[in-house]
Amino acid sequence: MRWGLGWAIVCAAACAVVLGALPAAAASPVAYVCGRGLDNPPCEQRPNDLTFSDNNDLSATGLDWSGWGRPVASARGHLTVNWTGTPRHHDGTVRLSDLRSCHGEPVYRTGRVTWPGHSVVVTFDCRRLPGQARYFQFHSSDKALGCGMSWDPKDGSWVRCDVDNAAYTTPKDPTCTSLDQGDSLILGTDVASACHGDTVLRAGRVLPAGHGHRVGDIRCSMAANGVTCRNLLSGHGFRMSRDSYEIW
């Protein structure tokens, strides 16, 4: 496989991923909803988590959908409400409606979030769907690690991380003969070594230790001992630093 910073990705079939497509929902009609928070995926199908405001003061996790792709979809889940500076947690429901075409794709445009004593109507835009890829690049404060994250409707979620002056070599692909490898890992649904002719070291902004970022189904977290990236749907991921790496 050959992977470039421009994300012209050629991937084996086993690496393919469609954002938000859970195995149990493979037969459901296609429909999207677009999250609002900066760390949320741009637009998803059947999202497990959903943020309803730009400042993250209303969000839901553990959503279990019924009727997805129909004019009305609903789910029960756990709500976090932070309107006063003190987060409150409730069991509640999310009801999506107003299913309309957005750039040729069906997108839910209205939602109603309900928990005991409250019912809030939210609206979603569709400016980020489809075909408008999302990218995020970051590096560690010491510039030893650099990563590029990507999401688009066709190829789904990806992250690639490079390490500078590593004390190890990541597994090599014998078909990669003219480009670099051994210093880079890439995660889609699974983990592989990257065969590359560029670098994502020192790209983007510093992601301080203790901070994380999510693009699509993948979340990366920076710590003092390296970066950890995980696909939240498949469970696969990696941790890497200058001294060591781990794949699962």
CA gap 243, 208 in Å, rounded:
19
Q: Which residues are 156's β-sheet partners?
A: 152
Convert the pLDDT of each residue in 50-76 to its tens digit: 888 766 788 899 999 999 999 999 999
Tokens (6 digits) for 248: 């699962």
Convert the pLDDT of each residue in 69-116 to its tens digit: 999 999 999 999 988 888 899 999 999 999 987 766 788 889 999 999
Structure confidence at residue 36 (pLDDT): 60
Tokens (6 digits) for 74: 């609903």
- Running DSSP on this structure, what letter comes out for residue 15? G
Distance between start and end Cα atoms, the chain: 20
For residue 232, is pLDDT > 60? Answer: yes
Alpha-carbon distances, residue 172 vs 14, 180, 247 (angstroms): 18, 10, 14
Q: How confident is the model at residue 156 (pLDDT cuts 50, 70, 90)?
A: confident
CA gap 41, 201 in Å, rounded:
24
Domain boundaries of the chain, sorted by first residue: 30-123, 133-247
- Name the CA dihedral angle for 202, 207, 209, 214, rounded to a multiple of 10 degrees: -120
Tokens (6 digits) for 192: 């592989």
CA gap 81, 90 in Å, rounded:
8
CA gap 8, 198 in Å, rounded:
12
**Starting at the edge strand that comes first in sequence, how are the strands of the sheet with 156-163 ordered?**
191-193, 184-187, 156-163, 145-152, 134-139, 205-206
Structure confidence at residue 37 (pLDDT): 47
238 vs 41, more confident: 238
User: Per mean pLDDT, which of 10-14, 34-38, 45-49 is the most reliable?
Assistant: 45-49
CA gap 48, 119 in Å, rounded:
20
Structure confidence at residue 73 (pLDDT): 96
Convert the pLDDT of each residue in 180-190 to its tens digit: 888 999 999 89
Please name the amino acid found at residue 209: A
Convert the pLDDT of each residue in 117-143 to its tens digit: 999 998 887 655 544 456 789 999 999
Convert the pLDDT of each residue in 189-221 to its tens digit: 899 988 888 889 988 899 999 998 888 778 899
Tell me the three state secondary structure of residue 147. Answer: strand
96 vs 9, more confident: 96
Alpha-carbon distances, residue 2 vs 176, 179, 198 (angstroms): 8, 8, 10
